[in-house]
Chains A and B, each alone.
Chain A
């Protein structure tokens, strides 16, 4: 059953009179209880996609087309009030950098109960007890202590746990995790993701896992979408994609999986990688879908289902090639 369905989403940013397309015609869906990964290098549009879902785009960004259906409601056409009811309670977010995603001068206890308080899920005097329960649930041994602490007194991993606590506080159906562990060391990263995974399995929650790390995708996701330049270039279930990646960009990304032992640097872009194949089974890949080079041909491209559930973006031969 489809929980979230994004159809032909287009988002653009206005910067100095210029209109810039950040998301170009993206479609995907997430089923109940499923973890879907959105992977792509920095700047490919992952965060913009996730912010669009909850209507949290920065002021200079706007959705220029498409639909985002959640339980048969188009989130893009909901009023402020209705959207407010969905945020946190139905769909919640975990942000990338916990050190800036928590208010440094508000106590942890107060921050994690904000959602419960707005949505009036439980009585005000129950808030503290619920907060302590949640903190214990995400693995804090001394919830009472943490309740009264400020974010600055916690380590990075602990702060990320606090963010998770906030995100699960209202029992959402869908959690959008935008690179929830990028700022953490490998061991802590695993603990955090295991925590999310356990939560997901015990509650049948769906997760949209945004990452640029194929290693995490293999371990935690059911399906994967590979994104580049605001477009999805390949999408399939995890097994298919790992066994038989087709698009050159996907292959490049896979080869750049960082080794566990190596220090984790922000994912290197793959523009230096040599693209050997230019076609698959007679279909040509559109150059713009794997090269960030300004001078490449800009050619209309479409997603084509090469086998059931496996979509790849190819050059659309029925259209003209545009030269930028």
Chain B
């Protein structure tokens, strides 16, 4: 990795897109006013339309159903969405890496049992598992009120841990594969201690694996967040507001952080009449996933080159 990765155009382009989104998002309060709720469009004093407005009415991307400019919302929400996805992915990989080392090293007897357990959880769709665990939290928040920060932390912890078991199994298989490699046996034949072999040979090789899996996990988390948004589970929880005209009010959940999945969830009912309110946030998800894939490809190319032995 090290130097060679910076020569991969795919990696550079992907990183550039992601970084610019995050930086823009942090700087956006300097350029944009906080998104205004403009629910009614008047022309010559006559009411002509209600939010959501189409991209032609409010360029470039239109508004959501509260009449907020989608572009501003999306840029504003990028930092939460991306950073949270990155944090969750990093912790997932870090924790499962640690567990995998311990697991691979010590419990030889328990391993078949654990492996079966892990295998059985892999087939439960993560979004369902996440929903089952997160929904009670949303109820609790609605009833008792949980602090914003607190709820973000709890949600993240849950999202981190549901991703850990399959990764442990993947990593420990990887380590098994690496420790069976001829060059490890060769190093052991020189008298190296197992710990040395781990630190100098196994972990460096796992290191690039870890980075790659972090990138893949970011994508997984983004997809999971989008699914949860549709199921009305938002990071940071919701506030309930009354919506509709004075005569027919109904309760609506609004994402507190404004991260992207929240936008999708908030506006999901509008998908038939104003598809843009869903398609635009989905487009941003896709752009992010696309850049992550570029990054992953760049990393894989570099790893292959090193495997083939060009060094770094």
**CB within 8 Å of B: which residues of A?**
51, 54, 56, 58, 84-89, 92-93, 95, 97, 100-107, 114-115, 118-119, 149-153, 163, 166, 169-170
In the complex, whether B143 has a CB less than 8 A from a CB of chain A is no
B193 (CB) vs chain A CBs: closest residue:
A84
A153 to B308, CA, bound (A): 9
Contacts of A119 in B (CB 8 A): 191
User: What residues on B are CB-neighbors of A86 within 8 Å?
Assistant: 191
Number of A-B contacts (CB under 8 A): 86
Nearest-neighbour CB distance to chain A for B219, whole angstroms, equals: 26
- Bound state CA distance, A100 and B189, in angstroms? 15
CB–CB B191/A166 < 8 A = no
- Asked whether any CB of chain A lies closer than 8 Å to the CB of B244, the reply is no
| B257-312 interface with A by 8 A CB criterion | 306-312
Contact A152 B191, beta carbon cutoff 8 Å: no
Decide: B309 and A152 in contact? CB cutoff 8 A: yes
B interface size (C-beta, 8 A): 25
The stretch from B37-45, B180-188, B230-238 touching chain A is: B180-188
Decide: A103 and B310 in contact? CB cutoff 8 A. no
Are A101 and B192 closer than 8 Å at their CB atoms?
no
Residue from B190, B193, B311 in contact with A150 in the complex, judged by beta carbons closer than 8 Å: B311
Partner of A56, one of B188, B193, B306, B310: B188
A56 and B191 within 8 A (CB): no
Contact residues of B: prevailing secondary structure = helix
The 8 Å CB contact of A88, one of B189, B201, B307, B309, is: B189
Contact of A100 among B181, B187, B192, B196 (CB under 8 A): B181
Is B59 close to A, CB under 8 A?
A: no
Tell me whether A166 and B186 are in contact (CB under 8 A): yes
Residue of B nearest to A55 (CB): B188
Is A114's CB under 8 angstroms from B192's CB?
A: yes
Write out the residue numbers on chain B whose beta carbons fall within 8 Å of the beta carbon of A101. Answer: 182-183, 185-186
Minimum CB–CB distance for B182 against chain A, Å: 4
Q: Nearest 7 CB-CB pairs, A to B?
A: A152-B309, A150-B311, A88-B190, A88-B191, A115-B190, A87-B191, A93-B189
Query: Is B205 in contact with chain A by the CB < 8 A criterion?
Result: yes
Q: Considering only CB atoms, which chain A residue lies closest to B181 in the complex?
A: A100
Q: Does B9 contact A (CB under 8 A)?
A: no
Q: Which one of A58, A85, A106, A151 has the greatest number of beta carbons of chain B within 10 Å?
A: A106
- 7 more CB-based (< 8 A) A-B contacts, given A103-B183, A153-B310: A93-B186, A104-B307, A105-B204, A105-B306, A163-B186, A169-B190, A170-B191
* Cα separation A119 to B308 with both chains bound (whole Å): 31
Tell me, rounded to whole Å, the shortest Cβ–Cβ distance linking A147 to chain B: 13
B165-212 residues at the A interface, CB under 8 angstroms? 180-183, 185-193, 196, 200-201, 204-205
Least Cβ–Cβ distance between A112 and chain B, in angstroms: 10
B312 / chain A contacts, CB cutoff of 8 Å:
105, 150
A118 & B182 in contact (Cβ 8 Å cutoff): no
Set B180, B185, B196, B308: member contacting A95, Cβ < 8 A? B185
Question: Does A114 lie within 8 Å of B189, measured CB to CB?
Answer: no
Q: B137 to chain A: closest CB distance in Å?
A: 43
B192 A149 Cβ-Cβ under 8 A = no
Among candidates B181, B183, B192, residue contacting A118 with C-beta atoms closer than 8 Å: B192
Q: How far is the CA of A169 from the CA of B201 in the complex (A)?
A: 19
Least Cβ–Cβ distance between A206 and chain B, in angstroms: 16
Contact sample, A vs B, 23 pairs, CB 8 Å cutoff: A54-B189, A84-B191, A86-B191, A87-B188, A87-B189, A88-B191, A95-B182, A95-B185, A100-B181, A102-B186, A105-B306, A105-B312, A106-B201, A114-B192, A115-B192, A118-B190, A118-B196, A152-B311, A153-B311, A163-B186, A166-B186, A170-B190, A170-B191
